[in-house]
Amino acid sequence: MSDNYAISLKRTTALMAAITFLSVITVFNLSSVFSNKVGAAQLESRSLTLSSTLDGSKNVGTAGSETNGAAAHHTFEFTASAGATSATFTYCTTAIGGCTAPTGLVLPANPGASSGTTSAASNVLTWTDTISGGANSVTFGTTSGITNPTSAGSFFVRIQTIAAGPVNVDEGTVASAITAGIEITSRVAETLGFSTTGDFGGVGAPGSTCAALTGSGAITLGDPTEQTLSISSTYDNYSAFRIYTNSANGVNIQYEGDTLRRTPSSVISHMPTKAGSVPASEQFGLAVDSVSTGSVSTASRSATISFANVDQAAALANVPDGPLTIASDYDTGSGTITSGGTARFAYVVGTPTTIASTAGFTNCKTVAVRYIANISPLTPAGTYRTTVVYSAVPTY
């Protein structure tokens, strides 16, 4: 202990007494000071939530959406004392001290609110409503969105609730931050798988890859031994196509080709409109056969055709997979082909014609197409041929 120290202890004692006295006085003085700020309590549990934290130059999407910082909604929550009938919200770059408005902030003159009425001037928003003693929540910008500050970083809003008089009631500051969004881009490759075959031995299970059909596309219409058509009965045969695509706007499957032709001037008439088989009249047509069985017999083949890997009617309409819609002229290929039979066929010459389509993606669809041919007693003898070309046209 030194003299100086001993002296300072005495002084300290007196000093302590003086400070204590002053502290008591100060406490009371502060109480009286805060009564206008006096007795001003602090708003509790106060927060600010923005509809978008993007800066005010970002004007994408509707007002109040997360991508629109140019027309944002600001939601304030706070716990207040009862008795206030209005409040001011002052936007600043700092929490205390002198207030500078955040750069780029625009408070519309009449921003609108989820309750009560509002007005704004410069960086001060005034809300008039009965403020509950307890929890309060109000959203501003509901009529005319608030433009967020245009610079990234924090900003503060100083809240003051006011009772009639006017008398300041409660106060508090909240904060929020403007920031860049996380912009994510990616690309999904467009896909299309389309194949055809006349060899049903090549219609294997699609598997997870929707495996392409294989085998020859050549089919015959007529007696399986002599491959001749008849005026007393209808001959039919089948081909298949398989399709998958991720086109968002669907795909059209089309066919195009000539009718059965022997010479430039000698043809078997095609079926320009949907109709049933009429033996002894010239007809060439096709339709989708959405059979319900696993195999089918055809007079043009000596053996049955397995449809095990061909999608049946229900599968064609499988919504989760993306339905395949058969065009109305070609949707009745199942059924009998005797005179007056139930199956219906059509064929258009000279222009690509849609036989099936999807509205969007389709995972994997395998379709059987049925062909018929009839001749009349006047049909010239000879070999008649045609090539039917199928194409898939997706729209991404």
Partner 1 sequence: MFVLLAIVASPLIASAQMSSPNYSIDEVFIGSGGELEACSDSYCTQQSAGGTGGQAESDGYGIMAGFSTPDEPTLSLAVTNNIIDLGLLNETTTAAASANFTVSNYLSNGYIVRVSGPPPTNATGSGSRSLTALSSPNPAIPGTEQFGINLVANSDPGIGMNPVQQPDSSFAYGTPTIAYDQEDNFKYEDGDIIAESLSESGQTDYTMSIIANVGPTTAGGRYRTVLVIQAIAVF
Give, as ranges, the residues between 26 and 85 that touch partner 1 (CB under 8 A). 26-27, 29-31, 33-34, 36-37, 39, 41-42, 45-50, 52-54, 60, 66-67
Closest distance of CB 313 from partner 1, Å: 21
Cβ atoms of residues 224 and 178 within 8 Å: no
Closer residue to partner 1, CB minimum distance, 147 or 300: 147
Among 279, 300, 286, smallest CA distance to 254 is for 286
Closest distance of CB 292 from partner 1, Å: 25
Closest distance of CB 216 from partner 1, Å: 28
Closer residue to partner 1, CB minimum distance, 20 or 273: 20
Apex CA 247: angle with CA 241 and CA 253, to 5°?
30
Closer residue to partner 1, CB minimum distance, 5 or 225: 5
Contact between 16 and partner 1 by CB under 8 A: the answer reads yes
Choosing from 57, 380, 389, 396, the residue that interacts with partner 1 (CB under 8 A) is 396
Choosing from 94, 130, 295, 391, the residue that interacts with partner 1 (CB under 8 A) is 94
Q: Taking CB under 8 A as the criterion, which residues in 276-305 touch partner 1?
A: none
What does DSSP assign to residue 118? E
Element (H, E) at 18: helix 3-33
Closer residue to partner 1, CB minimum distance, 148 or 334: 148
Closer residue to partner 1, CB minimum distance, 223 or 321: 321
Q: Taking CB under 8 A as the criterion, which residues in 99-158 touch partner 1?
A: 152-154, 156
CA 284 – CA 255 distance, rounded (Å): 14
Element (H, E) at 16: helix 3-33
CA dihedral 351, 352, 355, 356 (to 10 degrees): -150
Closer residue to partner 1, CB minimum distance, 135 or 303: 135
Contact between 161 and partner 1 by CB under 8 A: the answer reads no
CA 156 – CA 100 distance, rounded (Å): 10
Q: Work out whether the CA dihedral 368, 348, 339, 233 comes out positive or negative.
A: negative
Element (H, E) at 3: helix 3-33
Choosing from 248, 303, 308, 381, the residue that interacts with partner 1 (CB under 8 A) is 248
Among 378, 382, 298, smallest CA distance to 333 is for 298
Closest distance of CB 68 from partner 1, Å: 10
Contact between 167 and partner 1 by CB under 8 A: the answer reads no
Closest distance of CB 90 from partner 1, Å: 15
Closest distance of CB 59 from partner 1, Å: 13
Cβ atoms of residues 371 and 237 within 8 Å: yes
Tokens of residue 144, six digits: 């005319």
Among 295, 292, 283, smallest CA distance to 259 is for 283
Closer residue to partner 1, CB minimum distance, 153 or 201: 153
Q: Taking CB under 8 A as the criterion, which residues in 305-334 touch partner 1?
A: 321-322
Q: Taking CB under 8 A as the criterion, which residues in 339-368 touch partner 1?
A: 360-364
Size of the residue set binding partner 1 (CB under 8 A): 76
CA 393 – CA 207 distance, rounded (Å): 23
CA 24 – CA 223 distance, rounded (Å): 118
Q: Taking CB under 8 A as the criterion, which residues in 176-205 touch partner 1?
A: 176-177, 179-191
CA 185 – CA 323 distance, rounded (Å): 29
